[in-house]
Amino acid sequence: MNTYIERVRQFDKNTLVHLFKRAGEEDADPSPDFFKDEKNILLVSHTEEKLSGFLWAYVLQSPDSPYPKMFLYSIDVFGEFRRRGVASRLIRELQNIARTYKCREMFVPTRKSNQAAMGLYLKTQGKVENDDDVFFIYDIDI
């Protein structure tokens, strides 16, 4: 199986809409603004010359450390390419990019009930820091 990972640096609405639809997001309206910041990262995997998955992430700077953190926001591998190492390759490539930004940590939220994600993150040496983390979402009226 031949898989390669590409970092996408330019806005291509048709490709992005296709990726998000394959991931189950029918109402996606991709923004070109994402690509204006070099610290916003979109990786796309190609397996056997077909789009096989993608992830997006952000390099985050905090006021308490000179070292940024990599925030893996979302990862998706399309059905026919799952369990073939594609997601692991995407994560390894993101770790390589994190090193170029001098990130000391990479983190990703998920649910314990998401067994596929839990398995992937444990397989790729992710660690659960504690069992009481809660992820809050705030809707902002605009």
Q: What is the pLDDT of residue 85?
A: 92
Locate 94 and state its tokens: 């993101």
Site of tokens 């992005």: 16
pLDDT, one tens digit per residue, over 69-123 is 999 999 999 999 999 999 999 999 999 999 999 999 999 998 888 899 888 888 9
CA dist 60 to 15, 83, 128, 140, Å?
26, 30, 20, 21
pTM, to two decimals: 0.91
Q: What is the pLDDT of residue 139?
A: 82
Distance CA 45, CA 55 (A): 9
State the average pLDDT over residues 37-60. Answer: 96
Cα 15 to chain centroid, rounded:
16
Q: How far apart are the first and last CA of the chain?
A: 46
